[in-house]
Amino acid sequence: MVKDQPRQQPHSSFTREGRPFTSPVARAAKPVYPLDQLTLYETCALSYRYRYLDHLQASSLAPSTLESTLARQRQSIEHFLEARIRQALERLYRDLLHTRLLSLEEWVAGYEKDWLEHWDTGIQANYTARSLAPDLAPEDFLAMGRRCLEDFYRRYAPFDQDRTLLLEEPFELDLYGDSAYIVSFPVERVAVAPDGSYVVHLTSVASAIPGATDWRTLWRGALACLAVQRRFSPVAGEVKVIRHDLVFNREEILPLDQEALSQLILCTSQVIDQVENSQSQQLFPFHESAYCEDCPFYSLCPAKQHTNRLVRLLPLARGRDVGVRLADQYVTLHQERQRLRREYRERLARIQAQMREAEETLLDYAQRQGLGAIQGTEHQVAIKEQLALRFPPGLDGERRREALEHLLRLAGLWHTVAQLDETALRRAFAAGGIPPAVREAALELVEVEIQPRLEVIATGE
């Protein structure tokens, strides 16, 4: 048997948890994971499976789901707007590489021409935009993009803040330098500042999509920063990542110090582990979020199938649906249980308050009489003394708790006072936060059972 070899030290000096990492089981070279795929997996694992593993297409769906799915496969106008702006920026900087500066009028005219050439009447506003601004027309988004470009041009022209090196460049990033975790993604623009430092520019119209999560930009920026550092090492040194929010005409330097980059490398490798764990176990749970309404697989999702079927029924037919009756029965019982729990908690609180008062009176009586037990009609109340250990409240108490834990660990006594938290272990398994080798060994020690859990969600009509 060949002994496991330590993980090879990457030239970026990043390792898991900030220290040299030795894999219990040698990890063979793995496929390259596009960042878009990992992002979709983080958004919804089931959607990832439908798109990248099952390779589902609208033409392969059942007729009952085809119409709904086709509607959702149309590109949202927000993503269409972002694509047109990205193309306009690429044209501007590509011409600058050849020492040609487009005038503002030329640039905006090119953007509008590109918009018209690529426009499709099937493009629609996504769910978030529809719910917050239902009256927005395509012309409003076109004007928004025009204003973004005009603000950008007036702010940065003649665009001599730095010199562009790469535009829309594809990168592959080997996270640990051992071909075990490789991520691919495009980088919008890489430039060199007058002081010789390297700058990564990211543009975003996320503000046009209210509620868009910023973790995607941070993730993309961190990986781009690392990729540029490695490609241009040792010249690059520290790389600055600037995010341009075009809607509000502002720029932001992403807070990516070495600790943050190291942590994001770890998080990215953990996402890849989760993807591979899902594939090996064939477990791809759905995750409901604001992106569900624009998912091309909406009508296939177990969380949406029944709702999607009811939409096509008349109100009277909905009331006769077996699923509706079962759900209503369960919700009624659930609400009754909640009512009883509230009553129980209120009654328990009253009883506990009365018991505290009775305890104080009884202890006072026993102390005055010098008694160790007080006899009732059928029961006796014995007064015992027991050791109670408490920490003072606040920061001082937390520090003392940490110091005591450290003391017990040093003395080898921690195992006598600590026990396994099964709830925390279950959550760690579900989140994919346990390394594959440790996971496999742990699964041999426990019995695994997938249990359904019901959750009542208010939807209204």
- pLDDT at position 128 is 46
Q: What is the pLDDT confidence band of residue 212, given thresholds at 50, 70 and 90? A: very low
What's the pLDDT at 353? 94
**Residue 323's pLDDT is what?**
87
Highest-scoring range by mean pLDDT, 41-50, 73-82, 335-344, 445-454: 335-344
Residue 237 and residue 228 in contact, taking contact as beta carbons nearer than 8 Å: no
| Beta strands in 75-212, from DSSP E residues, in sequence order | 163-174, 182-192, 198-204
* Percent above pLDDT 70 for the chain: 78
Confidence of residue 436 (pLDDT cuts 50, 70, 90): low
CA 246 to CA 262: how far, in whole Å? 29
Q: Quickly state the pLDDT bin for 102 (edges 50, 70, 90).
A: very high
Both tokens assigned to 92:
């501007």
Chain segment 242-284, per-residue pLDDT in tens: 999 888 888 888 888 888 888 888 889 989 988 998 888 888 8
- The predicted pLDDT at position 236 comes to 63
pLDDT for residue 342 = 95
pLDDT band at 198 (very low <50, low <70, confident <90, very high): very high
**H/E segment holding residue 250:** strand 250-253
Q: Where are the domains of the chain?
A: 74-159, 161-281, 323-367
Q: Tell me the residue type at 5.
A: Q
DSSP state at residue 412: T
Question: What's residue 64's pLDDT?
Answer: 44
Supply the pLDDT for residue 216: 78
User: What is the Cα–Cα distance from 122 to 149, expressed in whole angstroms?
Assistant: 25
**Element of type H or E holding 375:** strand 373-375
Give me the mean pLDDT over the 8-30 stretch: 42
Least confident of 122-126, 139-143, 168-172, 415-419: 122-126
Label residue 12 by pLDDT band (50, 70, 90): very low
pLDDT at residue 70 is higher than 60: no
Mean pLDDT across the chain, nearest whole number? 79
What one-character DSSP code corresponds to residue 214?
Answer: S
Instruction: Read off the amino acid at residue 101.
Output: L
Note whether 70 and 58 are within 8 A (CB).
yes
Which pLDDT band holds residue 158 (cuts at 50, 70, 90)?
A: very high
Q: Which two three-digit tokens encode residue 228?
A: 């540029």
Q: What pLDDT band is residue 399 in, cutting at 50, 70 and 90?
A: confident
Q: Is 161 helix (H, G, I), strand (E, B) or coil?
A: coil
Q: Which of 55-64, 81-90, 385-394 has the lowest mean pLDDT?
A: 55-64
The whole-number pLDDT of residue 200 equals 94
Q: How many CB atoms lie within 10 A of CB 27?
A: 19
| N-to-C CA span, the chain | 63
Specify the pLDDT at position 108: 95
Task: Name the percent of the chain lying above pLDDT 90.
Answer: 29
Whether 9 has a pLDDT exceeding 70, the answer reads no
**Residue 11 backbone dihedrals phi, psi, to 5 degrees:** -70, -15
**Spatial distance between the Cα atoms of 221 and 172, rounded to a whole number of angstroms:** 14
* Single-letter amino acid code for the residue at 86: R
Question: Rounded to whole angstroms, how far apart are CA atoms 128 and 144?
Answer: 17
